[in-house]
Chain A
Amino acid sequence: MNVRHVNMTAMLSRLKWLPLLLFLSNGTVAGEVYSVGIVPQFESRQITHIWQPILKEVSRRSNIQLELKASPNMVAFEKQLKEGVFDFAYMNPYQAVTSQQMQGYMPLLNDNGRKLFGIIVVKKDSPIRSVQELDGQQVAFPSATALGATLLTRAELARKFNITLNGLYVKSHSSAYLNVITGTAIAGGGVQNTLLQQPDAILNKLRVLYTTDTVPSHPISAHPRVLPPIQAAIQQTFLDLGNDKKGRQLLANIPIKKIGPATISDYEPIKNLNLETFLTGVTSQ
């Protein structure tokens, strides 16, 4: 029985490759579907709304089938990254470093036109004028692990001013800003990109109190199991998107201003920020 089972499996494996060969002979690799994970910076609906058209376009152009693999929250996303669930993933710079260390994800692309930095916002009419006044106060952050909004800001304030913030984790950047406006938190952590994406009603009620040092922007990385030609094809297709108007519009939604190639060396400096200190705290929580 066992022998026979093995034989059948082998036979089935051969058969499984048959359509792929056929597709390759046509100059396509449509047979395999590659999963794409997206860091849950926004609500999952918004993420789908932004990324679905991009993946569709890239699939069309590259003949490589890409599939959006949703993650309900940051914890789940990071767990999936850690397990190497995604073939490709768009992640924050810190995750780029950790995923490379754990699964060997290699950055392929990022926004060459923008660097990532964290910001601290307060209400426009807030009496607070310096970050020092925030020491010990409750500040809203999207999540404990959010790179720009939480880790960069907390790490830099601690490093430079020795300030400790009482974090209120409110699930998303937008939520963090709203908590500031409603007065639930005295200040909120975020990043420039997400702040600028807020409607005027929110934007006009906030004031940026502090800006951190920059890090390279979010990369799109590939799992090492993805064959290099595929990785290259994907990288090239994305780069091509940056060359035409339609592509640029799609990328602007991510938001990526100017897409360009990325390498793991771009992200080396992040390792020196001691972000783990804050993560450990979170993890221990």
Chain B
Amino acid sequence: MNLQLKLFLPTFLLFIGIAAAMHFYWLPNYIAFEEEHQIESEQSFIDVLNTALLPDLLNNDLAKTHSTLDKVLADRQYWQSIKLYDNAERLLYPLEETQLKSRGKLGVMTHDINFEDNKVARFEIWIDFEAAQREELAHLYQLEILLLSILLIAAVLTSLLHDRWIRQPLKQLANVASDIALGHYDSKMEYHSSDEVGRLVAAFNSMHQQIMQREHDLVVSMARNKAVIDNAADGIITIDIKGRIEAFNPAAEKIFGYSSVEIIGQNIKILMPEPYQREHDGYLYNYLSTGVKKIIGIGREAEGLRKDGSTFPLDLAISEVQLDDRRLFIGIIRDITERKKIDKMKSEFISTVSHELRTPLTSIRGALGLVLGKGAKDIPAKLLRLLETANRNSNRLTFMINDILDLEKISAGELDLQFEIVSLSALAKRAIDENDGYAHSHKVKLKLLDNGVENTTVRVDQYRLLQVFANLISNAVKFSKENDSVTIEVKRIDNKVRVSVKDNGPGIAAEFSSRIFQRFAQADSSDTREKGGTGLGLSISQAIINQLGGIIDYKSVIGEGSEFFFELPCCDDGNKTTTPDENPPSILICEDDADLAQILAEILHQNGYSSVIAPNAENARLYLQKGPYQLLLLDLVLPDANGLDFIAELRKTEDTRQLPIIVISGKADEASKNFNGNAITVADWLQKPIDFERLSSAMSNLIEHDQRSRILHVEDNLDVIEVAQALLEGEVNYDYATTLSEALKKLAEHTYNLVIIDISLPDGSGLELLAHIERGCPVVIFSGQESSAEISKKVDATLTKSISSNDELITTVKRLLKQTN
């Protein structure tokens, strides 16, 4: 319904209402009233007529009487007839009896005309009441029509005025608004009035002006932004959540060799070499499903693929923006080919120079050493001091060059580590010995606290770990006051060992904490000259510890001192002397939040499980390489990897394919949904904060259902048993017997998946057992003496102690167990 109709309708309805009220209520009521009063009214007229006629009748003036009555009849059409009789009942009027015309409802009214109590004459009046009403009605209808006509004219006039004053301006306004909506901003409305419509138009015109101004501002702003983007030195690329390129600025065109026309709409993968190209969808999918950011918001180096197929290094920064309901990713790309070239040249230069410096420096040090060693007593004291200064500084220069070379190696990924299992306590003692002279020269005492960890072994590169010790101890000594002491503590924490070096020096300011492990970082630049050192020590130490699978960090309180510590995974079972059967399954906790990891470990411990903590994926990989675990508790968000990727990686690796994994994550629910297809690979998903009861039940389910192979090792030498147990623990359910009789008893009582036999036993030959071993159960001879060909035929494998390596034993056991399974 248009406005015109809406404006007209109320007036029209009002008109209809009034007309209806008039026609159906007022008029009938009025007619009823009139009918009621008609006879009364006729009577009063007859009274008047009586008065008029009386004198004429008294005068016998019939002519006047006739004339009067003729006029009355002419006036009152509905009076059908008047008959006038004199007192002798002679008809005075009319001259003849007349026929009554009307067929309607006739009424007769008679009236005597008296004078002084004498009857003069008598009326008989025939009245057609219907005609009277008709006449009255005709008058009323005329009146009604007149009123309704006036109303109708008023209604039409109102509508016309509404149309002119309201609808026409609004229609014009609507047209202008439509024009503006279509972008015709020059469309304008001229209407000046102080009424509401006028105010509306004024407000509209004002809004119109504002829109025009804002559009202008927007155009200017967009042009400015476009100019910035077009002229940016860095490539700026916008993609949608499916990876389709939406914008590609001129710098990006220049970097990649594509024009924006040909690249827009393509997938961003086209700009990446393998393996990034293949993996990109996965990154995007992982981010969108887990919200775990690998690149977004974090700058990183990557490789780009130009249109001509060449690749180049680039710096990539990706940020995410939300525009309306759409998520977009903006990538800023900088071609760092030149920078890389320069970096490489710089590294090569430093390496070359350092190596070139080393040779003459070796000669200088050698010469100085010879002079100071052999001819010291012949040198005057003054000269000796100078020579000692020269020697000390040549030593420092050597360290510095070594440090620089180490750093170059580390950054080039060329640090070659020689792993071996060593006692950390022994290593700490050696480090103290090596650095004692330096400490002594600073009048600082070195103290070692290593109670109870004498047997703790770690798998490390001794030389590099000593380098870390040296760095931490020399730093602590440097910042200690004279006669103070530096404490080196070796402490076992579950399956890790922590080494801390603690001083009572000035401490490290909190604002420096983020840079402490950076190269050439020193809390106070004046420290270099005051305290000596290259500023590379902590950076090198961190690189070494990370490569050894540990972590390094520090705690410090200003004015009280600092404590630098590193943690390394143990490769022994500590001092625990439990039998293999009673030993609870070992669990690996991969969690970067140290506090949560500790809580989890404690809970597991209370439940009778031992556990080790890996703060990152790299560390977890090292633990998993070293030994089998019954369960992995995995946080999805790790500092160096996406948990989901890590699970996939574990599933691809032979050793960890079947490893039960419980995921612990703040996003466990969300991630589990996206992991539906592979749900079997994850035993359970636990949402943070963790419901420990659920964790406990999930673990006991998993571990109770553990169907590990059961092995019996028959061996009289307890050292061998200890080594084998250490080797096989986790892989199998290890059981052992030291005598033939004990072995027979165990074989009778239990079913074993594999039996390892030493031939020479205190109470007989191990070969006797062969007859008692179930068919199908593989047997490995592991003996000091070489087995004959005949024996070899009877068993599945033969190994000779001292010749066969540990690895060989494990491999053989695993292979045979796999075959039987």
Q: Which residues of A contact B (CB under 8 A)?
A: 43, 140, 168-175, 177-179, 181-184, 201-202, 205
Contacts and interface: CB of A to CB of B under 8 A. Distances in A.
A64 B91 CA distance: 49
A201 B98 CA distance: 13
A184 B95 contact: no
B103 interface: no
Nearest to B61: A171
Nearest to A198: B63
A178 B90 contact: no
B59 interface: yes
Nearest to A178: B62
B329 to A, nearest CB: 115
B63 A43 contact: yes
B63 A184 contact: no
B60 to A, nearest CB: 4
A201 B60 contact: no
Contacts of A175: 60-64
Contact of B60 (A43, A170, A205): A170
Contacts of B56: 171
A56 to B, nearest CB: 25
B24 to A, nearest CB: 47
- 3 smallest CB-CB distances across A and B, nearest first, come from A174-B63, A178-B62, A175-B63
14 contacts: A43-B64, A43-B67, A171-B56, A171-B60, A173-B63, A175-B64, A178-B66, A182-B86, A182-B91, A182-B92, A183-B90, A184-B62, A184-B90, A205-B95
Contacts of B67: 43
Nearest to A199: B95
Given A201-B95, A202-B95, A178 B86 contact: no
A171 B64 contact: yes
A182 B64 contact: no
Contacts of B66: 174, 178
Contacts of B91: 182
A88 B60 CA distance: 31
Nearest to A182: B92
A172 B95 contact: no
Interface string B33-63: 0000000000000000000000010011111
A140 B92 CA distance: 15
Contacts of A177: 63
B311 to A, nearest CB: 132
Nearest to A172: B63
A170 B90 contact: no
Contacts of B63: 43, 170-175, 177-178
Most buried by A among B56, B60, B95, B96: B60
Contacts of A173: 63
A43 B56 CA distance: 12
Most buried by A among B61, B64, B66, B96: B61
A168 B86 CA distance: 16
Contacts of B60: 140, 168-171, 175, 179, 184
Nearest to B59: A171
Interface in B87-115: 90-92, 95-96
Nearest to B84: A182
B61 A182 contact: no
B494 to A, nearest CB: 145
Given A171-B60, A172-B64, 15 more contacts: A43-B67, A169-B60, A170-B60, A170-B63, A171-B56, A171-B64, A172-B61, A174-B63, A175-B61, A177-B63, A178-B63, A178-B95, A182-B86, A183-B90, A202-B95
Nearest to A174: B63
A170 B61 contact: yes
A174 B59 CA distance: 13
B98 to A, nearest CB: 11
A121 B195 CA distance: 89
A175 B91 CA distance: 15
Contacts of B62: 170, 174-175, 178-179, 182, 184
A171 B67 CA distance: 13
A187 to B, nearest CB: 14
A172 B680 CA distance: 140
Contacts of A202: 95
Interface in B228-246: none
A248 B393 CA distance: 170
Contacts of B86: 182, 184
A285 B86 CA distance: 26
Nearest to A173: B63
A87 B750 CA distance: 175
Interface in B673-690: none
Contact of A170 (B59, B95, B96): B59
Contacts of A140: 60
A140 to B, nearest CB: 7
Interface in B447-480: none
Nearest to B67: A43
A175 B61 CA distance: 5
Contacts of A171: 56, 59-61, 63-64
Most buried by B among A174, A177, A178, A181: A178
A205 B91 CA distance: 15
A43 B62 CA distance: 12
B71 to A, nearest CB: 11
Nearest to A140: B60
A140 B59 CA distance: 11
A169 B61 CA distance: 9
A110 B349 CA distance: 167
Contacts of B64: 43, 171-172, 175
A169 B86 CA distance: 17
A235 to B, nearest CB: 33
A177 B61 CA distance: 10
Contacts of A43: 63-64, 67
A182 B86 CA distance: 10
B84 to A, nearest CB: 9
A175 B62 CA distance: 5
B99 to A, nearest CB: 15
Contacts of A182: 62, 86, 90-92, 95
A221 to B, nearest CB: 27
A175 B96 CA distance: 16
Interface in B509-538: none
A29 to B, nearest CB: 38
B81 to A, nearest CB: 15
A35 B222 CA distance: 109
Interface in B57-81: 59-64, 66-67
Contacts of B59: 169-171
A75 to B, nearest CB: 13
A87 to B, nearest CB: 29
A205 B56 CA distance: 22
Nearest to B86: A184
A177 B67 CA distance: 14
Nearest to B96: A201
A274 to B, nearest CB: 27
A9 B63 CA distance: 50
A205 B95 CA distance: 9
A171 B57 CA distance: 11
Nearest to B55: A171
Interface in B761-818: none
A278 B86 CA distance: 29
A174 B56 CA distance: 13
A187 B697 CA distance: 149
A193 to B, nearest CB: 15
Nearest to A183: B90
A201 B96 CA distance: 9
Contacts of B61: 170-172, 175
Contacts of A170: 59-63
A174 to B, nearest CB: 3
A178 B65 CA distance: 10
B95 A181 contact: yes
Nearest to A180: B62
A212 to B, nearest CB: 22
B52 to A, nearest CB: 14
